[in-house]
Amino acid sequence: MRNVKIALAILVVGVSLALGIHNATLYAPDHGFDGAGHVYYIQYLAKHRAMPLPDKWETHQAPLYYVVGAILMTVGGSFKYAQYFNTFVLWLMIAMVGLGLKRVFKSTNQILLGMFALAALPMLNIFPAMVTNELFGTFWSISAAVAIVFLLTAKTNKQIVFYSLWIGMSLALGALTKISIITILPTIFVGYLIYLVRFPKKRSFLILAGIGTIIIFASAAIPILIRGAQSKGPSNVVQTVSGIKQASRDIFFYTRLDWIFKVDMYNTQYYSMLGGAWNSFWSDGHNAITPFVTFHKKALILWLLGFILLPISVYGLVRMWKHHKQSALVVYSVGSSMLAMYVLYNMMSNHYSAVRLTYEMPIVLAYAFGIAGAAEKRKMQIILLILLSIQFITLVSFYWILPWWHVTK
C-alpha cells in the first residue's frame, strides 16, 4: 500500500510539472495579470544589472521575484526559463503546506489528500504559465503561517528562537517579493498570542523573540513601502490602477447568488463578489488561460465540484477545532484575514479584477487543512480521493494549452 501511495504521488507531481512546463512553453509572457509590466521588470534587471525606477507599470513592485527571473533568464539564455520558475514555486508551496499538515495530522492519508487538494485546485494552476509574482508571494505567506503552527509546539527557548527566525525571514522575503505579505500579519499576531496564553512563564523570552521578528520584517518592508510611495508612474500603489477607483457598490453586489441558478461560469466578476470568488477559485472563469466558451463541460465539472469540496473542507475545519484547537485558530485566522481583505479590497475598488480571489491566495492554506481535517475516516478518504482525482484529471485536460489559443499569441 505504501508503494502505491508513493507511485500515485509521483504521478501527480509529474503530471502537474508537465502541465506547468508545457503551458509556460506555449504561453506568451505578455499575457496574464499585467504580464507586460512583469516582463519589462525582469528584462531590465537582466540587461542593466540594476533596479528600474518605480515609474513604469509594475516597477514599484518588490524585486526578489524579478531578480530570480532575471538570473534564470541570463543563465538559461531564454526568457522561458523565467517563466518555468512558477511551476516549481507551486510545488514549493504545496510542499510547505504538507510540512504544516504533517505537524498537525499524524495520518499520511490526511497529509497527502490535503496536498492533493492544492495540486488539483484550479486557482493555483493558472499561475505556473505566467510571469507574475503572485505565486511566489503566496509561498512566503504560507511559509510564515506554517512556521506559526510549528511555534505552537515549541518547548524550549532554542525552538522559540528558531521558529521566530523562520517567521521573520518568511515575512522579510515575502516583503521583498510582494508587499501584500502584510495580510498574513494578523495570523502571526494570533500565533504569538496563543503561545503567550499557553506558556505565560516564557512571556519575556517570547516578547523578545517577537520583537526580533518585527525588526527582521520591518528591515525589508520599509524600503519597499518607501519605494512604492515614491512612484509617480501608472503603478503607484496610491494612485488608481487601470481604471480602479473608489468603489460605489450596492449591497446586492456582495450578496447576490443568482449566478448559481444561471450557471454563470464566466461573467460574475462584473456583478457579484461571491460569484467572482467562486469562479476564480474553482474554475478559469476569468479566462486567464482557457478560451472563452459560453458553456464548457470541463469548466462546469470544476465549477460544480466546488459545491461538494467546499462544504467538506468547512466540515474538516470544524473537526480541527475538536482535535487541534491551537492549530485550528491559526488556520482560521488565515482564512478570515484573507476573506476580510477580499471584502475590503472590493469596497475600495470597483474594477473587475478586484473580484478575483487570487489576490488573497494564502486562503488555500485553510482549504487544504480543511480537506485534511475531513479525511479522518477511511470512507471519507476514498470519497475525497475520487473527487480530487476527477478534479485533477479535468483540470489538466481543461488547462492544457493548445497552440491556437489566444494566450499563445
Confidence at 293, pLDDT banded by 50, 70, 90: confident
Share of the chain above pLDDT 70, in %: 95
C-alpha–C-alpha distance, residues 55 and 401, integer Å? 34
C-alpha–C-alpha distance, residues 5 and 255, integer Å? 42
Going by C-alpha positions, the residue among 159, 161, 144 that lies closest to residue 99 is: 144
What cell does 320 get?
Answer: 480541527
Confidence at 246, pLDDT banded by 50, 70, 90: low
- 44-66 pLDDT, tens digit per residue, is 999 999 999 888 888 889 999 99
Average pLDDT rounded to a whole number, residues 291-316 = 94
Highest mean pLDDT out of 54-58, 311-315, 345-349: 311-315
Query: Long-range CB contacts (< 8 A, 24+ apart) of 103-107?
Result: 103/146, 103/149, 103/150, 103/153, 103/327, 104/149, 104/320, 104/324, 104/327, 104/369, 104/372, 105/372, 105/373, 107/375, 107/376
Residue listed under C-alpha cell 475545519:
317
Confidence at 33, pLDDT banded by 50, 70, 90: low
C-alpha–C-alpha distance, residues 115 and 332, integer Å? 18
C-alpha–C-alpha distance, residues 132 and 353, integer Å? 15
Name, in order, each residue with C-beta under 8 angstroms of 128's C-beta and a sequence gap of 6 or more: 19, 20, 23, 24, 86, 87, 89, 90, 135
Q: What is the pLDDT of residue 272?
A: 95
Q: Which residues of 221-250 are buried (b: 16+ CB within 10 A; e: fewer)?
A: beebeebbeebeebbbeeeebeebeeeeee
Angle between helix 273-282 and 325-348 (nearest 10): 120
DSSP annotation of 27: S
Distances (CA, A) of 137 to 68, 195, 229: 13, 26, 20
Q: What is the largest CA-CA distance in the chain?
A: 64
- Burial label for 148, CB within 10 Å (0-12, 13-18, 19+), is buried
Angle between helix 80-104 and 364-374 (nearest 10): 40
Average pLDDT rounded to a whole number, residues 300-312 = 97
pTM: 0.94
What cell does 263 get?
Answer: 450557471
CA dihedral (60, 240, 279, 342) positive or negative: positive
Answer yes or no: are the C-beta atoms of 327 and 320 closer than 8 Å: yes
Among the residue ranges 93-97, 222-226, 300-304, the one predicted with the least confidence is 222-226
Confidence at 232, pLDDT banded by 50, 70, 90: low
Confidence at 239, pLDDT banded by 50, 70, 90: very low
Which one has a higher pLDDT value, 237 or 190? 190
